Amino acid sequence: MRDRAADHRPGVSRRTVLATAAVTAAAGALDWQSPVRAAARSGAVQQSKSAPSAARFADPGRAVQPRFRWWWPDALVRPDEIRREIDQIADAGFGGVEIAAVHHSVSDTSVLDTARHGWGGAAWVDAVEAALQQAARRGMSVDLTIGPSWPAAVPGITPDSEAAVKELVHGAVTLEPGAAYSGAVPAPIAEAEAGVTRQDLLAVQAARVNTANSTRKETGLDQASVLDLTASVRDGRLDWTAPADGTWVLVSYWVRGSGQTPEAGPHTDPAAYVVDHFSKAGTRAVIDFWEANILTPKVRKLLKAAGGALFEDSIELETEGLQWTPGLPKAFEKDHGQKLLPLLPALVLNHGNQVFAFEAVATRQLRHDFWETVSGLVDEHHFTALRTWAHSLGLELRSQPYGLQTDAIATAAILDIPEGESLGFKNLDDYRCLAGGRDMAGNTVLSCEAGGYTGGAYSTTWQKFLRTMGGAYAAGVNQTVVHGFSYADLPGVDWPGYAAFTPYKGTVGYGESWGPRHPTWKHVGDVSGYLSRVHHTLQTGRSRVDVAVFRQTGYTATGIGASWFTATGIPLGWTHQFLSGPLLDLPAATVRGGRLAPDGPAYKALFVEGDFFYSSAVTLALSDARALLRLTRAGLPVVLLGAWDTVVPPGTPDGGETDELRSVVGKLLAQPRVRQVNDKTEIPAALTALGVTPDVSYATSSTLLNAHRHEDGVDYYYLCNGKHAETVKPAVAAIDHEVTLRRTGRSAVPYLLDAWTGKAERIARYTEDGDTVTVRVTLEPAETVIVALGRPGLFGDRHGNSPHAVSSSADEARFTDDGLVVRAAAGGTYETRLSSGGRTVRTTIGKVPEPTGLTAWELHVEDWRPGPSATRTTVVEHDVTLDALTPWSKVTELADVSGIGRYRTTLTLGDAWTGGHGARLELGTVTDTCRVTVNGHRLPPVDQIHPVADLHGLLKRGRNVIEIEVATPLGNRLRVSDPTVYGGTTRQDYGLMGPVRLVPYGEARVR
């Protein structure tokens, strides 16, 4: 591969596309937006104009609220129902929707008349108008998918059209030495899809078999032997005699439309076909269809008021052969200076598998070059072109830029909003790949298609959703598109209404259809409020990340992590993101104060290792080596793992390129801010030698995950007790240890930001050491906490520079309206050392009542059952007396009940209960959502992962009434009401299972 920094050949490289797109976006960021939509869309950026405050954290606004993927059965919807569902979503605390035509659950396609109700038709446009109108009234925004279902497709083209997605398929015949072939050119081994009526012969070649190049699945060929026989084809026939010097393979290559249609169609009449993602023609077809059919003057106007983003799902282009576009040979030659066709034997695919191979290194290099060119084409002709068009409409472009062997990290930098998914991503490093592209491009949002679970329909809990998302937020996600909200009804569906993905092939589908059909919808505002505050925090300012991991091949959705950092560094507090070569050409790729992208993620070091996607080969593009040399000469610490004296280019090298590369790498290794290590265990010592330390640290390995944001001297730390991947064993355990956090301002003090209640509280016990603050973090598995470090009084606390506790023998120290107090579960005298001169204060707490287990409850249950129609629910009431808490599945009359349960118990407190006492109410195990009321006072939302309520000031001497309301999924009811679909599911344990304990504490002021 040539080094493009010194190459003056015509053509647009992948790196040039990315750099140009970034500059264009920065220069014209506000040109295409109306002031109202610009303010709403940029969310935290606009909010950052004002100082942080408790009120802003408590109610951060629509822009950062979670969103719903809103599934419509094409346009078989009613405008009045559309408006009603917008209101339902808005009232529940969600800030936007993404309209998607999805109906995997509809097996009888006669239900959907695509001629009258197809995607993109008149009925679709009317429904979109209704959604946009109501969203504008409610201050919400609406995202629109670029085609029906996925991948991007439009009606009006056929599989044979220039704009349709293409595939390269091959035929092959093996010839013994000296054997003659006379007959029709070998036909493709894979049959064409329905609707494909033509296929064009691209080339016919012959190559000698070389078993030394064979692999377990690939037939080895001699690259130098490849002969072009295309000119010998006459009227579709070929006459050729193989040389006598070995076995030969005759290979034909055919270009045709793949015939792919969007998922679970038909959605349109005429049928929609997937467009060519690598050509201008494919994108032009999308734009032309929208301009002619969807973008009426009214829709255009409404998009300015309530439009959010144009969205495209993951790039799932399905073919039996190789992804292709007619412009590929020309683009490849411009990029790499060599003809593509002679290399085709080592590129062609059959059912996703490689067929032939040349010598191993040459094969790796040419495959790298091929997919690099494909990356450039999809970035230039698809993503950049779509973004430009979206901006002209007042929209952003949001997309999941993976599914192909292309550089998703680089594409993420082109997108306004890159998106990952909890269903398809194998671990947190998949998100960190996209986060690197986002942050280097200077963008804010990394979205996630969240909460899709195989077989999860009507049995998914919000607790499971929160456990999944806890780690994703630590990896860079800061917008949640919940999967999903189904339109209410469709002819022929059963209770509780139409669902996009269930039944699926006759059984329980994937994803969930949230909404008022669920008992938990009554509590969903607590969940959406929590998510909104997490999003608000994680969209504030800019990311701060310890290390950038350089990835030669920028794939994601692979589950492949980074040496040492993923397995060992994360448990020690280190954070990292992934960068690929094109990101080093962005304007942000500068160094100041030893930091890469100092006004963005401010990486402290760059880590480079072999290419995991090519057997960890030690490769580096010459242009990337030069970029690394430039960066470290500017002061950036760099650590390289492996034998870099043997480095080779990742693609096919030009004459002398390998020697030049090794010369540049030699200069790189000689720099004072560079360390080379031979084993991953040596990485921490190298970082220490370079003076690089993480922003978050603790004494021992922990399951704590963290994300750091910074703005105007305030540091925000999101902490989650989670794991790198949900399949990792053993399970996460509770943690309770000190955590040291780096602060920007030496006078900064710590605040606890409670994302469940919206309360911001000055932390009362911590230690300081220069630019760090150490606090105690206690978290149950999947539980989260947000700590902000900012100036005294930042969040409205009145304690200013009041002394805080450095240590205390009491259980807890708090700042209250009375000042600094300590709390303990037992009476006694407690010593507290204060920050003012190290003074130690003794504080006495009187006798504290013993903890009490609450076992006897009166339970009233609203049992949700099918009503007179698919969208109506009948409620049957049950009253049960419980001497001990037990799941509903173990109570005869509640075994298959789903609904809402209200638990009520009475607690009598004697004369020993005084005003100096408070208590925590520990709920134990609850499925699913819950709310707490004490003596008629409903408490703020409790953490649904670890439900504990502070009852300070709410209990009194004498009789106290505690009520706990629990809402469940619908799965248990559906097991018996619709056994054909749901009868094979396992009965779940619902309700309040406890143990429920009241744990009193005494409180006294520290004087």
pLDDT of residue 13: 58
Q: Residue 4: which pLDDT band, with cuts at 50, 70 and 90?
A: very low
pLDDT > 60? residue 1: no
pLDDT tens by residue, 402-426: 999 999 999 999 999 999 999 999 8
Of 7-16, 65-74, 434-443, 632-641, least confident by mean pLDDT is 7-16
pLDDT of residue 911: 85
pLDDT > 80? residue 41: no
What number is the average pLDDT over the span 900-929? 94
pLDDT tens by residue, 305-346: 999 999 999 999 999 999 999 999 999 999 999 999 999 999
Q: Residue 14: which pLDDT band, with cuts at 50, 70 and 90?
A: low
Instruction: Answer left, alpha or beta for residue 575, where phi above 0 means left and psi between -120 and 50 means alpha.
Output: beta
pLDDT tens by residue, 874-896: 999 999 999 999 999 999 999 99
Q: Residue 20: which pLDDT band, with cuts at 50, 70 and 90?
A: low
Of 24-33, 236-245, 621-630, 938-947, least confident by mean pLDDT is 24-33
What number is the average pLDDT over the span 91-101? 98
- Residue 990: which residues within 8 A CB-CB, separation 6 or more? 887, 888, 889, 894, 897, 898, 901, 927, 928, 966, 968, 969, 972
**Contact 398/416 with Cβ under 8 angstroms?**
yes
pLDDT of residue 231: 98
What number is the average pLDDT over the span 972-994? 97
Tokens at 961, concatenated: 């009434």
Q: Residue 19: which pLDDT band, with cuts at 50, 70 and 90?
A: low
What number is the average pLDDT over the span 580-591? 98
Report d(CA 277, CA 393) in Å as an integer. 21
pLDDT tens by residue, 545-568: 999 999 999 999 999 999 999 999
Report d(CA 497, CA 488) in Å as an integer. 6
Tokens at 11, concatenated: 């053509």
pLDDT tens by residue, 200-219: 999 999 999 999 999 999 99
pLDDT tens by residue, 852-868: 999 999 999 999 999 99
pLDDT of residue 597: 98
pLDDT > 70? residue 447: yes
Q: What is the DSSP letter of 286?
A: H
**Contact 738/774 with Cβ under 8 angstroms?**
yes
Residue 940: how many other CB atoms lie within 10 Å: 15
- Residue 663: which residues within 8 A CB-CB, separation 6 or more? none
β-bridge partners, 878: 861
- Compute, in degrees rounded to 10, the torsion defined by CA atoms 936, 938, 944, 947: -50
pLDDT tens by residue, 140-177: 999 999 999 899 999 999 999 999 999 999 999 999 99
**Contact 968/989 with Cβ under 8 angstroms?**
no
pLDDT of residue 931: 98
* Max CA pair span of the chain: 107
* Residue 667, helix vs strand vs coil: helix
The share of the chain scoring above pLDDT 70, in percent, equals 95
User: Model pTM?
Assistant: 0.95
pLDDT > 50? residue 364: yes
Q: Residue 617: which pLDDT band, with cuts at 50, 70 and 90?
A: very high
pLDDT tens by residue, 587-597: 999 999 999 99
Pairing of strands 899-909, 958-967: antiparallel
pLDDT tens by residue, 797-828: 888 778 999 999 999 999 998 899 999 999 99
pLDDT of residue 633: 98
pLDDT of residue 799: 80
User: Residues 330, 333, 335, CA angle at the centre, nearest 5°?
Assistant: 110
Report d(CA 402, CA 408) in Å as an integer. 6
pLDDT of residue 44: 38
pLDDT of residue 801: 77
Q: Residue 107: which pLDDT band, with cuts at 50, 70 and 90?
A: confident
- Residue 181: which residues within 8 A CB-CB, separation 6 or more? 173, 175, 238, 239, 240, 241, 242, 250
pLDDT of residue 108: 87
**Contact 718/706 with Cβ under 8 angstroms?**
yes
Q: Is 685 exposed, middle or buried (0-12, 13-18, 19+ CB in 10 A)?
A: exposed
pLDDT of residue 388: 98
Q: Residue 243: which pLDDT band, with cuts at 50, 70 and 90?
A: very high
The mean pLDDT value of the chain amounts to 94
Q: Residue 916: which pLDDT band, with cuts at 50, 70 and 90?
A: confident
